[in-house]
Every structure is written in C-alpha cells, then in structure tokens.
Chains A and B, each alone.
Chain A
Amino acid sequence: MDNKIQINSAGKIFTTDKQDVVALQDVNLSVGANEFITFVGASGCGKSTLLRCIGGLETLSSGEITVNGRAVQGPGVDRAMVFQNYSLYPWLSVVDNIKFSRRLKVNREGATSAEVEVASGRADALLSLMGLAHAAKAYPNQLSGGMQQRVAIARALLPKPEILLMDEPFGALDAQTREVMHDLILHLFNLEKTTIVFVTHDVEEAIYLGQRVVLMAPRPGRIDTIYEVPLPDKRDQEMKLSPEFIALKKEILTRIRETSGMHTDKDLLERMTRQAEDSEAV
C-alpha cells in the first residue's frame, strides 16, 4: 500500500496567556492510499487537532505531515473537509452549495468547457447519489440535519479530492440517521476510491467504518494504540453484533477509560461519599 499521508513526530502546542497546552506529542503514522482510518479518544486527546493539521487549518509546532510526499503548508484542494455542522452556506440552494468550489479561482483558471461540463454532470450525479435530487433547489435550513450533512459531503466530494477529512460529521445526528449515513459513506468510499480520515467520539462508529482505528490519549495528546479491524471490507449492520466487533469495542472502550484520567474523578467521588457518611454520623 502506498503512503498517502505521512505524519512524522508531529507536535502541537497551544499557547495561552496562562499556560501551554500540549495538544499533540510525537505523533507518527502512515495512512495508505484508499484507506479508511478512524480516530477515537477521550476529549482533549488531540484527534480533531491532528485532523485539522492534516487539512492545513492548523500548523504543527514541530515535526511534519506530508501528503503524496509533499509537506502540508496550508489547505489544498487535494484534501476536502467535512465539519460537524454550520459549514453550509444558508444563502445558497443545495445545488449551489455543492457547486460552490466551481466558482473559486483555483478551479476556474485553466478549466476547459469540457471540464466544466464534467463537473456539472458530477454535481447532478452526487445529488442523486445522496438522495438530494428532489431538494436541489431547497435552502439548507429547510433540510433535516442528516440531509444537511449529505450536502456537506457532496460539496466536499465535488472536486474529486484524494483525501476526505471528516471531523465528527455525524456527531449531531440521531442514532437512526447516523446508521443510514454510515452505509452511505461506506458506499461512497467504495465508489470514489478516496482516502478517508474520520474523527469521532463514538467507538462503534469508528469500528464499523474504519479499516484501522487509532486510539488517542490526552495530556499530552498522543497515539496510544492502533487497532486493525477484523471485519471484511464490505460491512453491514449485522456485523455490529458479531463477537469480533463486540470484543474490539470492549477493548477500545476499556482503554479509553484507562487513558482518559477518569480514575481521579472516581477517587473524588469516593472521598465525597465518605465525607457525606461522616457528616451524617455526626
């Protein structure tokens, strides 16, 4: 497998007036071409920061990230990004949101009329693929949350990006809609042959979608464990009940709990309980 994304001893420090926060420390990872890789971890583990660094929206404090061997200097059309919400343009119709990137200089300059036609056909194809054809003229605020995310995904896919970066894209959706979106994104993954880097706080989602699951740990943000998902590439919802799936889910959940530093809270809880009992005794 060729390496699409190469992360070499990446570090990120957020400097605030009060203190420095180490968001990422010595992160090393290779992501292959046409790989679906998911990131999970307790809050503050730096998974979103890492994704934003790959996308070029944040810059590393140390180390480097390369895409196709070239160092990431900023955002680029080879890496599309889907956000959790509020990223659609409410003043544009669904179809105009999807075609937004066509109006940008990077895509207009040197584009032949044939290319424009292909892109226009692709917009229509994405509309029907996403089940949005009937809503093409609607405005985003007339759509449900699930539909809005479909528009956001279609918009990101329009320029045929090599890499799709997804930052908790289904985090605001209800459980049923989320399952539908999972199968849709897997379908797209098989169709488009992109590399997908997917950040989530939902372990089940991470296993169901990913070929590998990267578990990150907080304070300082770092990679803790990388799990190979023991499921065939063609996934279906039934697999969520298979012993392999459940075993892996249990293993990851346990490790998240161990790395999240929640044990200190448990101590506090015990102390408070003891204090409450003591005061009752008085």
Chain B
Amino acid sequence: MSATNQNPTLTPARKRKLWTIRGHLNHREFWFFAAVGMIVPFIGWWLMANSGMTDKVFLPGPMDVLTRIYHWYEDDDLMGDAWISIYRVTVGFLLSAILAVPLGVMIGTYRPMQALFEPLTDFIRYMPAVAFIPLVMLWVGIDEGSKIAIIWIGTFFQMVLMVAEDIRRVPMAQIEAAQTMGAGGEEIVAMVILQSAKPALLDTMRITMGWAWTYLVVAEMVAANSGLGYAILKAQRFLQTDKIFAGIILIGLIGLIMDQLFRFAHRKSFPWLYNK
C-alpha cells in the first residue's frame, strides 16, 4: 500500500487477534465461547453415558437426570426440599451478616477492636465447621436450629474478617477529607466509611452466600430429614444416582441464581461504578 492512501476510511477493519494477553472480546464472541464452555462438557457427559461403556448406576445420562427432576417435582415434593434448604441458608446467612457487618466495621475502624477480636476470629475460622456438628446437636438439638447454627459457624467468622478488610480498604484520604470538614467519628463511620465500603461489602455477602450453601449441604447430610442435601444422601442409600446428579445440579442452579441476584443488586445500587 502506498504512503499516500487517499481513502483510508475504505480500508477494511484489521482482524483482531482473539488470543492476546489481556485482549478483548465483543459481546458475540464472548457468548460464543461461553456457550462452547457450557455445552461441550454436557455433550461429553451425554456421549459418555450413552456409549454403553459405563453403567447407568454409576453415570446416568442427562435425560435420566431430567426425568428424575420431573418425577421429583411431580411426586416427591421437590419444591418442599428446595424451599426448606433455601430457608435454612437464608436464615443462617442473615444471622451471620447481621452480626458480622457491625463487628467487622468496628474491627476495620478501631485498632483496639482489631486487636481484641481479629486473632480470635482468625483462630476459630480455621476450626472445621463440620467438626462442630456433634457439639451443635448436643447444644442446639436436632431441629432447624442445628442446621442454621452450622451454616452460621461456617460463614460468620470468615465474613467478619472479610468485612473488616473491606472497611480497611476505604482510602484514608476520603476519611481525612471528612475530618478536615469537621465530621465527627460517628459521622465518618456512617457517611464515609460505610458508604465507601458498600459495594465491596455486597460482594463479600455474595461470596459468603456461596459458602453458606456448602455448609447447608454438610448440615443436611449429617443431621436432617428434609432438604436438598438430605435428598442427595437418601438417594445414595437407594443407589439412585440420577437423583444425586439432580440434587447437585439443582443446588448449583439455585446458587447461580442467587449469585446473579446479588450482581443485579450491585449494578442497581451502585450506578456510579458502572457508568464510566
């Protein structure tokens, strides 16, 4: 091409390379790759299950699982199992959040609070929540309280530390600016620190919600007679592998929906982060 190209607008757009470090994808390319990533494992599963190489008892096909979900829904009270699980997760998670957010805010704001609570919290969070199950059953009993208590133990201590870290990430200049404008301690916490940390806090809630689901399944497999986790355990006893698959997939789906709800709330609540 000569250096005196009179019509550069007619030059066709250069082909972008997809595989560059930290490169970009447009919407259509993104969805193409996302679809491939979702569909290929599914097809692989379907092929594997139908090849005759594996026994249905060990690896049911996608259709078996779908049929099982349908029957579970029609005859076996799927919605009841799902609702009781969602209820336990939500209550356990909310009880964690109600206590963890104020405590985390104090730990992240005041050094004595940090020295008082952080080493202890750090210690407890390394204790496996599952190992508390016998104690919880002893103390709380075997009704709803025990499942919620296990979810609480599993999420609360992690949540406190993450909230404290979110609070500590608030830029000092934002706090000092308020101080020089004459703001008092309570005003700074309420009008600057909390406002500034809100988006990070909601992300922390989204992530800990995922952990709450993990502990729910643990609790239901050990000490319950209802819920999705219990259904999975019962299916194992009757060698209903398709129901185990169904239970796992359903928990994954509910988790995905909750995660998306959190992301949606994030976009709606913090418009300033998204309209650059």
Q: Which residues of A contact B (CB under 8 A)?
A: 55-57, 74-77, 79-81, 83-91, 100-101, 103-107, 139-142, 152, 155-156, 159, 165
Contact = CB atoms under 8 A, between A and B. Distances in A.
A84 to B, nearest CB: 8
B156 to A, nearest CB: 27
Contact of B181 (A84, A88, A100, A139): A100
Given A81-B177, A81-B180, A105 B192 contact: no
Given A76-B182, A77-B182, A142-B276, A83 B270 contact: no
A76 B177 CA distance: 11
Interface string B204-238: 00000000000000000000000000000000000
A99 to B, nearest CB: 11
Nearest to B272: A139
A137 to B, nearest CB: 11
Interface in B166-188: 171, 173-174, 176-184, 187
B176 A80 contact: no
Contact of B191 (A55, A103, A107): A103
A80 B174 contact: no
B67 interface: no
Contacts of A90: 196, 272-273
A86 B273 CA distance: 15
B177 A87 contact: yes
B198 interface: yes
B182 A87 contact: no
B195 interface: yes
A30 to B, nearest CB: 22
B179 A75 contact: yes
Contacts of B173: 83-87
A91 B275 contact: no
Scoring A57, A104, A140, A156 by chain B CB atoms within 10 A of each residue's CB, the highest score goes to A104
B272 A83 contact: no
24 contacts: A57-B180, A75-B179, A75-B180, A75-B182, A77-B181, A77-B182, A80-B180, A83-B173, A83-B176, A83-B177, A85-B173, A86-B171, A86-B173, A86-B174, A89-B192, A91-B198, A91-B272, A103-B191, A104-B181, A104-B183, A104-B184, A105-B184, A141-B276, A159-B182
Nearest to A85: B173
Nearest to A84: B173
A55 B178 CA distance: 12
Contacts of B179: 56-57, 74-75
Contacts of B184: 104-106
B196 A87 contact: no
Contacts of A85: 173
Contacts of B180: 55-57, 75, 79-81, 156, 165
A83 B176 CA distance: 9
**Which of B182, B271, B275 is the most central at the interface, judged by chain A CB atoms within 10 Å of its CB?**
B182
A104 B190 CA distance: 11
A101 B182 contact: yes
Given A88-B177, A89-B174, A100-B181, 13 more contacts: A57-B176, A75-B182, A76-B182, A80-B180, A81-B176, A88-B174, A100-B178, A103-B191, A106-B182, A106-B183, A141-B273, A155-B181, A156-B181
B272 A141 contact: yes
Interface in B252-276: 270-273, 275-276
The 3 closest A-B pairs by CB, nearest first: A87-B173, A106-B182, A139-B272
B166 to A, nearest CB: 14
A165 to B, nearest CB: 8
A279 to B, nearest CB: 38
A107 B178 CA distance: 13
B198 to A, nearest CB: 7
A76 B179 CA distance: 8
A155 B176 CA distance: 13
B229 to A, nearest CB: 39
Contacts of B181: 77, 80, 100-101, 104, 155-156, 159
B272 A104 contact: no
Contacts of B270: 91
Contacts of B183: 104, 106
Given A103-B191, A105-B187, A106-B182, A87 B272 contact: no
Nearest to A165: B180
Nearest to A103: B191
B202 to A, nearest CB: 13
Given A105-B184, A141-B272, A141-B276, A87 B198 contact: no
